[in-house]
Amino acid sequence: MAQTTPNHTQTVSGWAAHDSSGKITPFIFKRRENGINDVTIEVLYCGICHTDLHHVRNDWGITMYPVVPGHEITGVITKVGSNVKEFKVGDRVGVGCLAATCLECDFCKDSQENYCDQVQFTYNGIFWDGSITYGGYSKMLVADHRYVVHIPANLPLDATAPLLCAGVTVFSPMKDHNLHQAPGKKIGVVGLGGLGHVAVKFGKAFGHHVTVISTSPSKEKEAKERLGADDFLVSTDAQQLKKGMRTLDFILNTVSAKHSLGPLLELLKVNGTMVVVGAPDQPFELPSFPMIFGKRAVKGSVIGGMRDTKEMMELCGKHNITCDIEVTTPHKLDAALDRVAKNDVRYRFVIDITAGLPSNL
Ligand code: NAP
Ligand code: ZN
């Protein structure tokens, strides 16, 4: 188990939802002292993932209030523990969804910490000392160094923040299917939001033909001109879907709401795979015929381990890949979350944490 101190002595200023109305208000709380394996980070930016919205509104029925969301965190190290060798004060770093894992199971040993059955997340988790974890909608974070990554010098901290969750969540299943090394495949991305737009960028960087499948016709021009998508299918248009039948090798499904997988599966070639990363609170419709008549597979994937996170971050540095963001401030969080709910952001809000803080904290 990760070594930590049980002493929660540090006062931190953050923002929390206190009930399922999802309203976010300033919240002062305590964090643990910096332990021997910990680094302390001055949080500068934090992305707003749709998972934050699921949590603040208790969509999944698992929220422990008050919840301080945020797992797309970038900032600068202000303190390092005595066991920490690869980080120093002043380093530009990022933290994603992982706060603690057992470090001993087969998944942890293979850097698939995200599949450790004792995994604790950056917020709404229960840390080893029994405390509830609070996320990046806050001015300061204490993190075990094993779940922290360097940010390449050429990448800005604001547009890089969403890579810590959205980026690795789409990178990991693409790597699992060797798409990062074998160009020339036809891949589909369902849902052009925070996760989806990064998947399109990765798909193009890896040399694939990328089709966006979207409910929003208004996103077509940008998808093609800004993100480099090759094709765009409107998923509510039966004619368009018919034209796309049996054309794709692989589909990444990032949709956040209930929908039927049947019409999407028909877009896969025989033996194609759909990886679902979107997490609606209601079950998908999964009709049997499109699966059995096309020998198609549907599987899931959750975030990514630390090896994948580092590899993705280095790759983004090399190819200069960042996210398309709209910067917001802590006092506009309710409005930002409402717009995420309405599918009205291109393509990720990132909070400038330093804007609007009480001056004494
Ligand atoms: P997002 O930015 O809100 O994007 C979701 C996209 O889904 C929207 O942009 C929209 O794209 C599409 N969509 C929304 N409502 C829809 C509906 N009723 N029917 C069909 N399509 C709809 O969300 P995100 O941050 O990318 O997250 C997406 C989902 O992934 C969330 O459920 C989140 O919790 C989950 N997630 C999972 C993991 C994991 O590890 N598996 C990690 C992070 C997030 P179009 O306008 O193009 O249709
Ligand atoms: Zn996320």
Instruction: Identify whether residues 16 and 138 lie together within a single domain.
Output: yes
What is the residue-wise DSSP string for 223-277? HHHTS--SEEEETT-HHHHHHTTT-EEEEEE---S--BSHHHHTTEEEEEEEEE-
Is the minimum distance from the CB of 261 to ligand 1 under 6 angstroms? Answer: no
| Residue 33 clears pLDDT 50, i.e. is over it | yes
50 Cα–ligand 2 center, Å: 6
Instruction: Identify whether residues 108 and 16 lie together within a single domain.
Output: yes
Is the minimum distance from the CB of 193 to ligand 1 under 6 angstroms? Answer: yes
What CATH number is attached to the domain comprising 219? 3.40.50.720
Question: Where do the DSSP E strands lie in 53-206?
Answer: 73-80, 92-95, 98-100, 120-121, 140-144, 148-150, 186-190
Instruction: Identify whether residues 160 and 16 lie together within a single domain.
Output: yes
Instruction: Identify whether residues 249 and 227 lie together within a single domain.
Output: yes
Confidence at residue 7, expressed as pLDDT on a 0 to 100 scale: 86
Q: Per the domain annotation, does 316 fall within a domain?
A: no
Q: Per the domain annotation, does 307 fall within a domain?
A: no
Q: Which ligand is nearest to the CA of 114?
A: 1
| Total count of domains within the chain | 2
Q: Per the domain annotation, does 213 fall within a domain?
A: yes
Instruction: Identify whether residues 184 and 148 lie together within a single domain.
Output: no
Confidence at residue 87, expressed as pLDDT on a 0 to 100 scale: 98
| Residue 5 clears pLDDT 80, i.e. is over it | no
Q: Cβ atoms within 10 A of the Cβ of 192, count? A: 26
Is the minimum distance from the CB of 155 to ligand 1 under 6 angstroms? Answer: no
Instruction: Identify whether residues 156 and 178 lie together within a single domain.
Output: no
Instruction: Identify whether residues 235 and 333 lie together within a single domain.
Output: no
Distances (CA, A) of 331 to 99, 237, 281: 26, 39, 28
CA-closest residue to ligand 1 atom 23: 50
Q: Are 278 and 290 within 8 A, CB to CB?
A: no
Instruction: Identify whether residues 128 and 79 lie together within a single domain.
Output: yes
Is the minimum distance from the CB of 357 to ligand 1 under 6 angstroms? Answer: no
Q: Are 105 and 117 within 8 A, CB to CB?
A: yes
pLDDT digits (tens, 9 = 90+) for 303-352: 999 999 999 999 999 999 999 999 999 999 999 999 999 999 999 999 99
Collect all residues with Cβ–Cβ distance below 8 Å to 93 and sequence separation of at least 6: 39, 41, 74, 75, 76, 77, 87, 148, 149, 150, 151
| Residue 25 clears pLDDT 70, i.e. is over it | yes
Helix spans in 184-226 (H): 194-205, 220-225
Helix spans in the chain (H): 50-56, 106-109, 157-160, 166-176, 194-205, 220-225, 238-243, 262-265, 288-292, 306-319, 333-341
Is the minimum distance from the CB of 260 to ligand 1 under 6 angstroms? Answer: no
What is the residue-wise DSSP string for 284-295? PB--HHHHHTTT
Angle (CA) 45 59 265, round 5° = 95
Q: Are 296 and 290 within 8 A, CB to CB?
A: yes
| Residue 262 clears pLDDT 80, i.e. is over it | yes
Q: Could you tell me the two tokens for 296?
A: 């198609």
Confidence at residue 357, expressed as pLDDT on a 0 to 100 scale: 60
Is the minimum distance from the CB of 241 to ligand 1 under 6 angstroms? Answer: no
269 Cα–ligand 2 center, Å: 30
Q: Per the domain annotation, does 253 fall within a domain?
A: yes
Distances (CA, A) of 105 to 4, 96, 192, 262: 19, 21, 35, 37
Q: Domain limits at 242? A: 167-300
Helix axes 166-176, 194-205, angle to 10 degrees: 50
Q: Per the domain annotation, does 31 fall within a domain?
A: yes
Instruction: Identify whether residues 152 and 175 lie together within a single domain.
Output: no
Q: Per the domain annotation, does 317 fall within a domain?
A: no
Percent of residues, the chain, with pLDDT higher than 90: 96
Instruction: Identify whether residues 135 and 236 lie together within a single domain.
Output: no
pLDDT digits (tens, 9 = 90+) for 57-112: 999 999 999 999 999 999 999 999 999 999 999 999 999 999 999 999 999 999 99
**233-240 long-range contacts, CB within 8 A, separation 24+:** 233/267, 235/190, 235/263, 235/264, 238/263
The β-bridge partners of 300 are 276
Among all chains, which residue has been given the structure tokens 């604001």? 158
What CATH number is attached to the domain comprising 111? 3.90.180.10
Q: Could you tell me the two tokens for 111?
A: 């850097």
Q: Per the domain annotation, does 2 fall within a domain?
A: no
Q: Per the domain annotation, does 146 fall within a domain?
A: yes
Q: Cβ atoms within 10 A of the Cβ of 326, count? A: 14
Instruction: Identify whether residues 287 and 177 lie together within a single domain.
Output: yes
Instruction: Identify whether residues 16 and 145 lie together within a single domain.
Output: yes
Helix spans in 280-356 (H): 288-292, 306-319, 333-341
